[in-house]
Every structure is written in C-alpha cells, then in structure tokens.
Structure 1
Amino acid sequence: MENHQIAALFSANYAEARDKFLRAAARRGLAVESHELALAGAQGEVLATDVVLDGPADASKMLVVISGVHGVEGFCGSAIQTGMLDLGAPAQAQARPQGAHDTAVLYVHAVNPYGFSHLRRATQENIDLNRNFVDFSKPLPVNAGYAEIHELLLPPEWPPQPRTEGLLDAYRERHGARGLQRATSLGQHVHADGLHYGGTEPAWSNRTFREILKRYAPKVRELASIDIHTGLGPYGVGERIFASFDEAVLERATRWWGELTSVTTGTSTSIPLTGPIQTALAEECPQALHVGICLEYGTWPMARVSAAMRAEHWLHRHGCADAAKATAIRQEMKDAFFPDAEDWKLAAWQQGLQACQQALRGLEEDAAAKLAA
C-alpha cells in the first residue's frame, strides 16, 4: 500500500471514518450490522457501532479488532480497520494450509460512537468505558485519591489558577507521578461529571459490545483481540500491552507479538484499570482461550495530553459562553489524541497491520501445531 493510500485511510471526523469503513466492507461484499445510538452526531449524522465479520461465520478461531472505546481515539483504530478490510485478511490467508479456512476477523468499529463524533473520550453518559465493565451487583471500586483532587482537576475556571496547579503539584510530590496518574486515571464511580467516571450501571456501549460478542463468537475456541488506543507513550510508537486476564497465555502472546508490556508489573505507560473492555471478552466467551493486547499509540508529551483531556472535561462540566474558546478546546482534544501528520499515520498503520497479521499467523500456526501433534 502506497503512502498516499495509507494517508487516505485516516479521516477528519467520525462521519467520514464511518463512511470509509462501510465502503471498504461494501467493496468486499461483506455484510454490516449497525447498532445505532438514538442520538445525533456532531454534524447531525447517524451514530452507530458497526460490525463486520470477515471470514466463516462458524470459525473456531477469531481475531477481534476494536476501535473507538475512547471515542476521540477512534481515528487511528478506524483507519487500521478500514485498511485491513481493503487488504482482505484473512482472505489472503486462504492460500496457506492448516487452519486458515477456520479463521475469521471481527471488526467492531466505534464502540463509543458518541465520543468519536463529539471529540470526547467519554460516552454520552460521561462514562469512561474502560472503567465500566465491572460487576454492578457488587460494591463498586473506591478511588479515594481521585476524590481528593477532583476539584483541582476540573476547577471552575480554565485555564486553572496557579494555586490550583500548585496543589496538584503538591499531590504529585507526596505520591509521585505514578501516584497522581493512578489517582486520576484508575477510575471512579462517585463523581458523575468527573474524569474517568465508571458509572453506576452498564453503559449503552457496554451492553452493545456484549451483544455483539454473543452473536458472533459463541462457537469460537481461540480468541485473539487487539484494542486500539492513542495518547500514551512516545510519538508514533504502538506499545503492545498484554490484555488477557489469564497469565498462562502470556508466553503465547509474546510468541505472537514479541515483547509486551504489562500494567500489573508496572512496565506499561498505562496502569491497571477498574473495568476494562476485555472483561466482556472473558465473560461473554468463556469457552474460548483469549489472547489479547491493547495497542496504545503515543502522540504528544503527557503534559499536553493530560491538559487537553482536563480542558475538554472542564468544558463538559462547566460549559463555556465563549464559542471560540470552546472550539479551540475541542480541537486541541482531537489533536492530542490524533496527530494529523503523515509520519504518525504511516507509523500507526504499519504497526497496526503488523499486529493484526501476527495475531492471524499465531492463530493459524497454533492450529497447525495441534493438527501435527
């Protein structure tokens, strides 16, 4: 694929991204199942989580490629999904022996279409989906650290006053940079207008994703997943974060994808989350062996990304009569999670393509090894 073709995979807004994804599926003659959200997009467009199955409906091996869990981060994942559809994997694998004919790719496009369209990480319920996949019948996780800094993160005025930032700096001094990240990002279920809110019930996107898995993966025995995110780490680098609950599959995941980081051991730029989407893969597909990663692309330094996210949440919480200021905040939010630069797009595509191909090869080779045993 030429550089100009790669650049064309990326879109300027959700509506364009969805159109490209749907057109790619149509070119392949693949059916699309659309789960529409009963809200309008930023341009008045239809909002939906769209699903495409590429491969046999009864495949026992499946790669699930997920985009847009954190809305505005969907620009990257959508481009990778569209490009993969154009390439036709796993159709290309049909020429290979053992197991390829029994492998499918399930593309779940824009898990959080509202956030994608409105340039938010959160859903229409202001929920961070990766903190929402918890058991709501049990006591919810408590994040005392967040309660201490909630008003400092989202003060009445923006930009924050020096005193406000000074108090946040003091918290960082006491608990370290990782401690501040944990307090801010772990997830919380008390402040409904706050950052990384996990909610008090399953969000629409949570319920929809579970329905998709129930429909498409009940017969799958070997399940690979790639959940695509942006905003953490060095510019253009796709960190591969181990994302399976079963540590016994770590050796297999490493064999497929190479060196992986881990939130549990502290080697990742991310931290352990209270309710990640991978919970649904484990709960809705208990019959399958799940091997998954989060593919987290770095954009800009953490200070810029964090400031953009705080500003956008401040706008959501307090509103702003200054239209120009509000527009600038939304644009910076988009820029922070989606660098509109050719080198970044090329790097994102190349690494995303490689990760998907490695997962498919791993599924097929493991199947071949079983047949030979």
Structure 2
Amino acid sequence: MSSPFSQTYKEARGKFLALAEEQGAVVVSTIHPTERGAEGEDLAIDIATFGDPDAEKTLFLVSGTHGQEGFIGSALQIAFLRDLVIPDGVNVVALHALNPWGFSHLSRTDENNVDVNRNFDDYGGGLVQDEVYPVLFRALCPDDWTEETIDWSDVREEVVRTHGAKHMVTVLAGGQRDEPTGLNYVGKGPSWSRTVVSELLPRVFAKSRRIAFIEWHTGLGPFAELSHLCSFAPGSPSYERVFGWIGDEARTSFSATFEVTGGEVPTYQGLFSAWLPSTAPQADWAGLLIEVGTLDNIAVGNAVRMDRWLRFGNGRSLASREEMRAAMMEGLNPSSAEWRGKALANGLDAQRRMLAGLMEW
C-alpha cells in the first residue's frame, strides 16, 4: 500500500483525486483562474463526498488552510478514507487544499499573502491595532535574517511587561490589516479561497442536518501530539459534544501549547472554523480545529517568520534560501518517520472518534 504522504501538492492532489475516483466519490473542483503551482500545475480546491450525497449526517475534513500544513491534512484524509466502510445515513466530505497556492508554493499564506485562516471576517472590525503592532512587525519581520535579527526576546519581554501577554499574542497572531507583507494579514476583502467555499459548501451541505468537522493544522503542541481549538461557546451543546467525543483532557490542550506566554492565547479574528457553520444554517454543528505539534513555540514561530522572509526579505541571510526553506518546512511539516507515524496515528484516532460520535448523535 502506497504512503498517504506526498512530497508536493501536485502529488497530494493526484492521490486524493485517484482515491475519490476509486471510491466513486462525488467531486466538485474549482481551479484557480489566474495562478499556477510550483510545477506549473493547476491549483484547485477539491471537495469530494464519499458515501451517500443525500445523507443527513456529515463528517467534514479540511486540509491545507495554511499551505505547507496541508501535507499532514492530505495524508490523514487519504489514509482515513481509503479503508473506511461508510455506514448508512452518513457521508464523509473531504475538502482538499483550502489554500492550494500556499500548499504548492510551500507558503503559509495565499498568492496575496493573505492568511486564509484570518480572512473569514469583515476585514477590520474588532481587530486590535495600536502602537504595539509596528514594534512587533519590526522585530519579527526584519530585512536581514541573521543571528542578531532573529532574536526578538527583548522586544517580546518589553511588550509583555507593558501590555500583557494576552494583548501581545492577540496583536501578533489574532489577525492584522495594516501591513500586507506582515504575518497574519487578513486582507482587504474575500480571498479566492473564501469566495470558492462560500459558493460550494452550501450546495455540498444542502441535505445535511448534523455536521461534525475537523480542520487540520500543524505547529502548536508537543511533537506529533494533538491540541484542540473549538470556536463554539464553552458550555454550549456543540462545545460539550466535541469534547465528549474527543475527550475531556482535550479542553485545555490548546492553551497549554502557548508556553512562551504562560497559556495566554490570542483572540482570533476570521477563523474558517468559526465561519463554517454559516454555510449550512439548517444543520446542527460540532467540530474544531486541531493542531498537530511539531517543535517548540520559538522554533515554530521562526519557521513562520522564515516563510515570510522568503517572500519579502531583501537583506542578508545567514543561510541560503534553499536551506531556509528546508528549515522552515521542518518546523511545519517534519520529515522524520517518527513524526509522520505518530501524527498519522493520533490524527486517525481523532477522525475515528468524530465519526463514532456523529453516528451516535
């Protein structure tokens, strides 16, 4: 049996579409009208429905919201679906590559540097923009990538001292509209990805009445372990249902990944998983974003910063672009067999738990 992992977006998409054809899935695809992949290939959002398209219970699996994080999400979709016997009354919908440009070009963001997972919002309302952001931008996004410019610990400590950890991580990671070349840029309007799923998902979910979902990411948390971010209100039926299925210990797993800030997490704007239930208001929803851990906070943060520097940095660097790209990918998509094996096992367990919970719901 071939590996569910791929080395490129083109390979991952080929495996996904081949599996969909083999299983008789109903596939809807939208090809990007202007952009091409790193190998000159089509870039597409592919949505495949496995099982009865008219089933009232749907498990929805999403990969590639942040481009280079799509490799594990794609592998989890393929490994799960190729051996799955789908029960009556249930279908599994897999969205492959929400951000195909980033997946193919090995970048977190899309062709316009929009962070797709901050773009599902109103592009300004509620975003925290103040004197802290320019300070953080200069520290995190230097022109040069050297030992001197990489270290931002002094700036971090001063901002935390004067403004608090919660405020710092919200300004840093919650979404920003001021700097188009910066991290976590929300954009000035709907991204291509948002436009496509806004059109397709209401049609795909038209018959669904109960929908469970997992959106796959990487970076935060212990090596190959899972951490869980649920956008439903704590204590709500949807929130309690998720952790009843996944396990109570998962409730604090996301905040525990923020070691540098002592568990203080951002207030996010524009998350795909928070917007998603609006695509099928007739349905009851339960689901969450799951991170697969890779390295420590600073190492992962530096990987994201390297991704940004590879697109916009114009100064000196302590390593070649090829070396930086390889280091960046190790922070977000580790190549070791140990990480892949553990990540796949933990991710498949989570998908099985969500399916079992959906079946009993």
TM-score normalised by the chain length of structure 2: 0.89
Find out whether 1:208 has 2:196 as its counterpart. yes
The SS at the match of 1:87 is coil
Given that 1:210 and 1:280 are in contact with CA atoms closer than 8 Å, whether structure 2 keeps it comes out as: no
Alignment partners' CA distance in 1, 2:199 and 2:11: 26
Distance 1:280-1:42 versus aligned 2 partners, 3 A rule = same
Match of 1:234 among 215, 222, 227: 222
Distance in 1 of aligned mates of 2:244 and 2:71 = 29
Classify 1:194/1:334 alpha carbon distance in 2 versus 1 (closer, same or farther; 3 Å): same
Look up the equivalent residue of 1:206 and give its one-letter code.
R
CA distance in 2, matches of 1:245, 1:69: 22
When residues 308 and 287 of structure 1 are mapped into structure 2, their CA distance, relative to the original with a 3 A threshold, is same
Aligned residues of 2:144 and 2:314 also touching (Cα < 8 A): no
Contact 2:140 2:150 in 1 (8 A): no
Taking the aligned partners of 1:22 and 1:131, their CA distance within structure 2 comes to 28
The offset of 1:105, in angstroms, is 0.7
2:74 is equivalent to residue 78 of structure 1? yes
Q: Match for residue 142 of structure 1?
A: 128
Question: Take 1:140 and 1:183, find their aligned partners in 2: how far apart are those partners?
Answer: 11
Shift of 1:319: 4.1
Tell me how far apart the structure 2 counterparts of residues 173 and 160 of structure 1 sit (CA, whole Å). 24
- Structure-2 separation of matches of 1:160 and 1:178: 27
76-85 vs 320-329, greater mean Cα deviation:
320-329
Q: CA deviation at 1:243?
A: 3.3
* CA positional deviation for 1:142: 3.0
Q: Secondary structure at the match of 2:35?
A: strand
For residue 219 of structure 1, report the CA deviation from its aligned partner: 2.3
Determine the structure 1 residue equivalent to 2:143.
156
Residue 339, structure 1, aligned to residue 334, structure 2 = yes
Residue 261 of structure 1 pairs with residue 248 of structure 2: no
Partner of 1:21: 16
Equivalents in 1 of 2:36, 2:275: separation in Å?
A: 27
How far did residue 47 of structure 1 move? 1.0
User: With structure 1 as the length reference, what TM-score do the two structures score?
Assistant: 0.86
Q: Confirm or deny: 8 A CA contact 2:108 2:307 kept in the other structure.
A: no
Q: State whether residues 189 and 200 of structure 1, in contact with CA within 8 Å, keep that contact through their aligned partners in structure 2.
A: yes
Q: Match of 2:61, as an amino acid? A: V
The CA deviation at 1:172 is 4.1
C-alpha contact (below 8 Å) 1:241/1:262 kept by paired residues: no
Q: Is the Cα–Cα contact under 8 Å of residues 73 and 338 in structure 1 kept in the other structure?
A: yes
Q: Give the Cα separation in 1 of the matches to 2:317 and 2:145.
A: 12
The one-letter code of the counterpart of 1:237 is E
Instruction: Say if 2:243 and 2:251, in contact at 8 Å, map to a contact too.
Output: no
Aligned partner of 1:50 in structure 2 is: 46
Conserved? CA contact 1:70–1:229, under 8 Å: yes
Q: 1:307 to 1:173 in 2, by over 3 A?
A: farther
Contact 1:194 1:313 in 2 (8 A): yes
| Alpha-carbon distance change, 313 to 271 in structure 1, aligned in 2, over 3 angstroms | same
1:194 to partner: Cα distance: 0.5
Q: What's the CA shift string for 1:103-155, capped at 9, x where partnerless?
A: 1110000000011111111111111111111135x746233232331122112
| Aligned positions of 1:159-178 closer than 5 A | 159=146, 161=148, 165=152, 166-175=154-163
Matched with 1:371 is none
Quickly say closer, same or farther: Cα 1:327–1:63, change in 2 above 3 A: same
Q: CA deviation at 1:301?
A: 1.2
Shift of 1:233: 0.8
1:291 aligns with 2:247: no
Report the Cα distance in structure 2 between the residues aligned to 1:177 and 1:141, rounded to whole angstroms: 17
CA deviation vs aligned residue, 1:183-238 (integer Å, no higher than 9, x gap): 31111011111000001101011111222211200221111110000000100101
1:36 matched to 2:31? The reply is yes
C-alpha displacement of 1:240? 2.6
| Kept after mapping to 1: 8 A contact 2:273/2:289 | no
Residue 182 of structure 1 and its aligned partner are, at CA, apart by 2.8
Contact 1:242/1:294 (8 A) holds in 2: yes
Percent identity for Structure 1 against Structure 2: 33
Give the one of 293, 302, 307 matched to 2:297: 302
Q: Is this contact kept in 2: 1:244–1:278, CA < 8 A?
A: no
Aligned to 2:261: none
